[in-house]
Structure 1
Amino acid sequence: MDDKRAAEAKKVFGYSADQYILNVVKESCQRALALPSFTGTLQTIKSHFYDRNYDAVFQNPDHLPVYTARYAPSRALCYYHMFLQHPVLLKTLEGGPSNILCIGSGAGSELVGIAAAMVHANPIPKTKKKKTTASTTDEKKKKSSKDKKSADGIEGQEEQDDKGKEVLKDGKDTTLGLENLAMSSTTSMAEAGVEGGAGAGAEVEAGEAKTPVTKKKPKSDKHQVKLVMQDYVDWTPILEPMEQIVRTRMHLGPERLQCETEVGNVLDLSDSLLDRIAAADLITFMFVLNELFQDKKRTMLLVARVVAAMPKGAHMLVVDSAGSFSNLKVGERTYMMYMLLDHLKDLEIVYQDDATWYRCPPGLTYPLKLENMRHFVRIYRKL
């Protein structure tokens, strides 16, 4: 990342981008954090996770704001740094319009993390000051030229007056002398730009006023990222206020970031979702595939159809737990989830890490404890 981008990002984030991101999440979740039932609801959610009863977690609307307040902060930070770390991901946020489809992203972690990365990829456009149509130097030159021409005209007229007087004095061809005086005076006035008693400056200025002036329009950032957040329950009450806060705090207008939602069970793979996949430059599965693999047959069919529908050159980002939650039992053997994905023939591995940590920097403040995350990362490209 170059110094200019870093400087522009600092104008938005201040001394700490990580703390700024946490403040955005906190502002979005302040009502949930103030709920008297928050602690009890969170314990219920954790119990359902332990039992891998994901429907019980997400199909209760009362759980959703509590889930976001608890799990969105650390993940948003992780995704933010992930996009900055990998050029292939950052490239989707710059250089031209792009579509990003995030599967299972209702809680808003992708929205906050990717939007924060956009601040680096697309600095805030500066409004250029309007340039004057003529410089002070040019105006001075014009004025000097006008004065000189006027002076020359007066001197020429005085010379002709003297000649006329001499002709009259000598008594030689008085009529010719007067005609010469008239012709000389007219010529001098024309050279000085005087017509009908108007000054040279008035004529030139009138001409300038009639000349159309072309003003350069300030360059605008025409780049747009369309972020589609898909989930199988309706997270609109969470995402809409969060989106407004993100736009305000990170200076991302609709001309730069377009947000849409898609509600439905991804395992059903509707025609609408297939169309979005076919138009996507990047598809993300972040901390969602291990939930989907509770139904191994349908999830493998889903992955195969997603890969088939992806346009050539598009990328897929898969992030999930590096622990036993990502284990898949096939027959008598147990595999990590990414091992099955790695063998899909139409995907090329661009980046892989079987186990890495995202550790929250010290000194950050948030109403709840921030969790470090051990996860695997895969970035694939469609061949």
Structure 2
Amino acid sequence: MVKKTGPSKKAAPSKQSSSSKQSSKKSSAPLETSSPALQSEEQQQRLLNIFSSAFNNVLTSDDFSRLLQEIKQALFNREFAAAFGREDYLEAYAARWSPTRALCYAAVFLSIKKHLDGILIAKEETKDNNTSTRRNAVLRMLSVGGCAAEHVAFASYLQTTATDGHLTLLDSGPWTTVISLLESSTVNPPPISKYASTARQAANHPLLENNQLSLDVVQRDVLDLDMDSLSAQCANGRVPIILTLLFTLNELYTTAGIGKTTKFLKNLGQVLASDSLVLVVDSPGSYSEAALGKEKKRYPMQWLLDHTLIETETPGYSWEKLQSDDSIWFRLPEGLSYPIPLENMRYQMHLYRLQKP
């Protein structure tokens, strides 16, 4: 657990978040692993500082604990539209649960770097007048569902790999304010004491350089998009991208049903460019299940996903599973600090690549 530091009038209860509770259930997976430590504690602390700076007013608000309880109740009831339908809920959610997710996702991105390198888009080398860093490739990502953790994790990956990026955050919730706060914290130097040494002030750089990340926020339900609109979010199939469904796919199965979600997954094969990647991260085990038919027979999310992408033949394209883990622990180092307690998390992860003739 990350130790609590800094002022907070009313911190969140120390008991686990809904995602942590869910991850504590027994998984049907035969083997659990721990995600490798691909970032230093210094890098991880930097990401936590972005959240604590962006959401300082939220973390110290008298309403914080109440908002968290309301969000947790909605999530427990699987009322996702209610949990993610208000800006104040999203700010509280981002301050409380997105930091751990961001660190986890950053580790996941680094773990699949060899595959991400394969979809980099070359560009002319340029030299910014304010920096000596040269970046000659662009990585495009479409995040379906969720915004805060995905934004910071992707920004961290770009910083670590000295890459430019284009990120589209597609979600039905009103995330604009949250993303604006985080964007400001990623492109501006972190707050520092005016009494800091000259050397420390000189070394106080923002996470990202100017124009390193191009960002679009789209408030739409992905399942309501027609083929043309979905294609537009996927670079119109011109270049390969990575499309992420991070703790989103099971929500789609639960709220919209297996039929609509399966149709969306099938449509990806038509609108994405060849070599595009689809990354799915979700809760492991029995929590990620969807019911089908009058008898409400339950199917594991991973089984539904593989059945749609791998086992169903579709003319014109096919999917290759590059990596799959049924249960992975992401553990926070003891030395990290954040204004409220954070917990470890457990997840399943699946990575697919689209192949076209």
- Shift in CA distance, 15/330, structure 1 to aligned 2, threshold 3 Å: closer
> Are 1:260 and 2:213 counterparts?
no
- Shift in CA distance, 14/261, structure 1 to aligned 2, threshold 3 Å: same
Aligned residues of 1:83 and 1:89 also touching (Cα < 8 A): no
Separation (CA, whole Å) in 2 of partners of 1:79 and 1:47 = 25
Aligned residues of 1:93 and 1:118 also touching (Cα < 8 A): no
> Are 1:274 and 2:234 counterparts?
no
Separation (CA, whole Å) in 2 of partners of 1:273 and 1:117 = 25
Structure 1 residue 262 displacement after superposition: 1.2
Q: Which of 169, 172, 181 is equivalent to 1:229?
A: 169
| Letter in structure 1 aligned against 2:154 | I
Range that drifts further, 95-104 or 69-78: 95-104
Q: Which of 346, 349, 355 is equivalent to 1:377?
A: 349
State the 4+ residue runs in structure 1 displaced beyond 4 angstroms.
Answer: 92-95
TM-score (norm 1): 0.66
- Shift in CA distance, 352/246, structure 1 to aligned 2, threshold 3 Å: same
TM-score (norm 2): 0.71
| 1:310 alignment partner in structure 2 | 272
Q: Which of 103, 128, 133 is equivalent to 2:144?
A: 103
Structure showing the higher helix proportion among its residues = 1
| 1:78 alignment partner in structure 2 | 104
SS of the aligned residue for 1:97 comes to strand
Q: Which of 132, 156, 169 is equivalent to 1:116?
A: 156
Structure 1 residue 329 displacement after superposition: 2.8
Aligned residues of 1:28 and 1:242 also touching (Cα < 8 A): yes
Separation (CA, whole Å) in 1 of partners of 2:107 and 2:266 = 29
Q: Which of 285, 308, 328 is equivalent to 1:356?
A: 328
Q: Which runs of 5+ in 2 are unaligned?
A: 1-38, 123-136, 190-205, 311-317
Structure 2 counterparts to residues 1-383 of structure 1, below 5 A = 16-91=42-117, 96-106=137-147, 108-122=148-162, 224-249=164-189, 250-270=206-226, 271-277=228-234, 278-279=237-238, 280-294=240-254, 295=256, 296-331=258-293, 333-343=297-307, 344-345=309-310, 346-383=318-355
Structure 1 residue 102 displacement after superposition: 0.5
Separation (CA, whole Å) in 2 of partners of 1:349 and 1:262 = 28
| Letter in structure 2 aligned against 1:258 | S
| Letter in structure 2 aligned against 1:334 | R
Deviations 1:15-55 (A, max 9, x none): 61111110111111111112101001100100111100111
| Structure possessing the higher relative contact order (Cα contacts under 8 Å, 6 or more residues apart) | 2
Structure 1 residue 251 displacement after superposition: 4.1
Q: CA RMSD in A?
A: 2.0
| Letter in structure 1 aligned against 2:322 | V
Deviations 1:331-367 (A, max 9, x none): 5643221112223242110000011111111121112
Structure showing the higher strand proportion among its residues = 2
Percentage of matched positions with identical amino acids = 32
Separation (CA, whole Å) in 2 of partners of 1:281 and 1:305 = 15
Separation (CA, whole Å) in 2 of partners of 1:15 and 1:355 = 23
SS of the aligned residue for 2:174 comes to coil
- Shift in CA distance, 25/89, structure 1 to aligned 2, threshold 3 Å: farther
Q: Which runs of 5+ in 1 are unaligned?
A: 1-12, 123-222
| 1:3 alignment partner in structure 2 | none
Separation (CA, whole Å) in 2 of partners of 1:28 and 1:255 = 20
